[in-house]
Every structure is written in structure tokens, then in C-alpha cells.
Amino acid sequence: MQSRIRRSFRVLAPGSSLRRRVAYSLAVVRLILVPVIVLAVYYLFQVGFIVDRIVSYDAPAATLAQQATIEMLDARRAERNYLLLNDAASLQAARESLGRIEQILSAIRDLNPSDQELTQQALDSLHQYRQRFETAVALVGTPGQAPADRINSVVAAYEHDLDNLLKSAPYKRRAQLVDELRNRVDSFDAQISKTVQEGNPALRQITVDLHNSGQGVLDFASQLETRNWGRIESDHRKAQRLISRAEWSLSIVSAITFLVSVWISFVLPRQVVKPLLSLKEAVDHAAAGNYEIDFEIQGEGEVVELANSIRNLIAHVREVK
């Protein structure tokens, strides 16, 4: 009968103990995840550093530089109004704008150390403008002494010129109309400045100096804004390159990790389960009443010890029977 045939079972458990092999396998499974985690953390920190620099330094500095430009234009407008009308409200508005510009430039200097030199140049131009403006204020004298008649005539001529321009607007292209409007505004400023200077000849050089120093502040503020926006664009491109590189790197490493984990998931069960299946088959064969069983055991560890115990048990049962 089939149950009385001598059978031979091979129990191959190479390597160390089963417990140690399982521990090693689980450690390898965890270790292959390390590159994915390290790469993800690395790129996360790199992109986070770039975003933090944009949010904390470059974008606020660019916005402040833009505000400084607007405030300087307001200060110039208030300066011209004061020299034109000699009123206290324009004087106060100009001084307040200059104070805000100094605060803004100081804030930019504190935000980014790399902008300190350019910011200091802007502050120097601002201080020069303020000194010249106060000199002009001293030359103007008491409020209410502006050459009103001559100014009124210039304003009336300017209004008449604008009326004629608007009447001819339907027959002109938009770009041409804008250019002519700019020319009219520049001409009006020049005529007003000339009228004020004729009323007080000492203001002639001061007005030129005010224009030069004010333009210097505007130029430095524009440079600050351009530099910071340039850094923002550069950081944005760096972040895009990092994200693209991270996608490729993580995809490749994840694919390799997946393949290794699949390989381990096949190798480990085969090394652990195959000898246990051989032992199960041997025990089932003995349970069927056939104790003529030989074992070919190789290796060490718990599976080998279990196989030796089963062999001894079957041998003992065979002797008893």
C-alpha cells in the first residue's frame, strides 16, 4: 500500500535561525524605504527654504520698494504744490511722505542684508532731498506769498490747451492722444516751475537739485524693487526645477524600492514556508500510519530543531509499534 512505502523528506533551512532571518528581512524592508523618506525630506526642506526666503524677505522687500516709489512720487507732488501755492497742508504732506520713505527704506535694509548698500544709497539721496527741500521751504518764506496772478494765467492757458486737445481726441489714435497728454503735463510742470522760479530766483538751483535728488531716490527704489522681483523669479525657477527633480528622483527610487520589496516578499516566504510545508507533509504521512520516513535535514535554527524533534517522535512511535 501507498502508506507503507518509505518516504524521504528534505528540510532545507539554510542560513541562521528563522527568527533572525525574519528580523533581517523586516529590517531590509524598512531600510529600502529610507531613500524615499530621505529624498522626500531633502526636497521638502529645499523647497521650504526657497518659499520661506520669498515670503519672508524678497516679496516684502519688493512690496516695500514699490511703496517707497509711490511715497516719493507723493512727496514730489506735495513739494510742487507747496512751491506753487505755499500752503501749510502741502508742506506737512511732503514731510510726512519723506518720514514714511525713511521708515520703508530702513525696513528693507533690516529685511535683507544683501540690499544694505543699495538701501543706504537710497537713504543718502533721501536725506539730501530732505535738506534741499527744507532749504527751499526757508526760501519760500511765509505761506500765502505765491505769485497767484501769473500762476492763474498759466493754469488758464493749460485748461484751454486741454480743452482743444479733448475736442480733437475723436480724430486721433489712442497712443497719440496719450503721448500728447504726457507732453502737456510735462509742459505744465515746466511752466509752473518757471513761474515759481521767476517769483523767487533763488529757488531756481534748489528746484533743479530737488529734482535730481528726488530722481535719485526713485532710481534706487526702482533698483531695489527690480532686484527683489528678480530674486523672486529666480527662486521660483529654482523651486520648479527642484520639484521636477524630486518627481523624477522619487519616482525612480520608489520603483526600485517596490521591486526590491516584491523580490523580498517572494524570497522570504519561500525560505520560511517551504521547509514547514515539507514537515507538514511528513507529519500527515505519519498520521496516515506510515512511519517509514526518512529526513534529509540541512541548515540550522528553529525549523531544523523542529524537524529533528518530529523525526525523533516518528522514530519513537515506530519503535513502540
> From residue 242, how far is each of 71, 227, 229, 231 by CA, in Å?
38, 22, 20, 16
Q: Please give the pLDDT value at position 124.
A: 92
Cell readout for 182 is: 504726457
Alpha-carbon gap, residue 223 to 262, rounded angstroms: 57
Listing DSSP states for 94-126 in one string gives: HHHHHHHHHHHHHHHHHH-GGGHHHHHHHHHHH
Cell readout for 206 is: 534748489
From first to last of its 321 residues, the chain has per-residue pLDDT tens of 444 566 666 665 555 566 666 676 677 767 777 877 888 888 888 888 888 888 888 889 889 998 999 999 888 888 877 877 777 888 899 999 999 999 999 998 888 778 888 899 999 999 999 998 888 888 775 444 445 555 555 566 656 666 676 677 677 676 676 666 666 655 655 555 555 555 555 566 677 788 888 888 889 988 988 898 888 899 888 888 888 888 888 788 778 777 877 776 676 666 667 777 777 777 777 777 777 777 777 666 677 777 778 778 777 777 776
What is the residue extent of each domain of the chain?
2-25+263-320
Listing DSSP states for 14-40 in one string gives: -SS-HHHHHHHHHHHHHHTTHHHHHHH
Within 10 A of 43 (CB to CB), how many other CB atoms are there?
17
Residue 10 and residue 281 in contact, taking contact as beta carbons nearer than 8 Å:
no
| Secondary element (H or E) of residue 69 | helix 59-85
For the chain, count helices (H), then strands (E): 9, 2
Alpha-carbon gap, residue 70 to 1, rounded angstroms: 106
Q: Is 264 exposed, middle or buried (0-12, 13-18, 19+ CB in 10 A)?
A: middle
Q: Please give the pLDDT value at position 294.
A: 74
Q: Please give the pLDDT value at position 126.
A: 92
Alpha-carbon gap, residue 238 to 251, rounded angstroms: 20
In one-letter notation, the amino acid at residue 301 is: G
Read off the pTM: 0.59
Contacts 24+ apart (CB under 8 A), 230-234: 231/58, 232/54, 232/58, 232/59, 232/62
Q: Please give the pLDDT value at position 96.
A: 93
Contacts 24+ apart (CB under 8 A), 186-193: 188/154, 188/158, 189/80, 191/154, 191/157, 191/158, 192/80, 192/84, 192/151, 192/154, 193/80, 193/83
Q: Which residue has the cell 504732506?
A: 93
Alpha-carbon gap, residue 98 to 217, rounded angstroms: 11
Within 10 A of 167 (CB to CB), how many other CB atoms are there?
9
Quick check: helix, strand or coil at residue 288? coil
Cell readout for 38 is: 530621505
Query: Can you list the alpha helix ranges (DSSP code H) found in 112-202?
Result: 116-140, 148-167, 174-199
230 contacts: CB under 8 Å, gap ≥ 6: none
Alpha-carbon gap, residue 164 to 3, rounded angstroms: 122
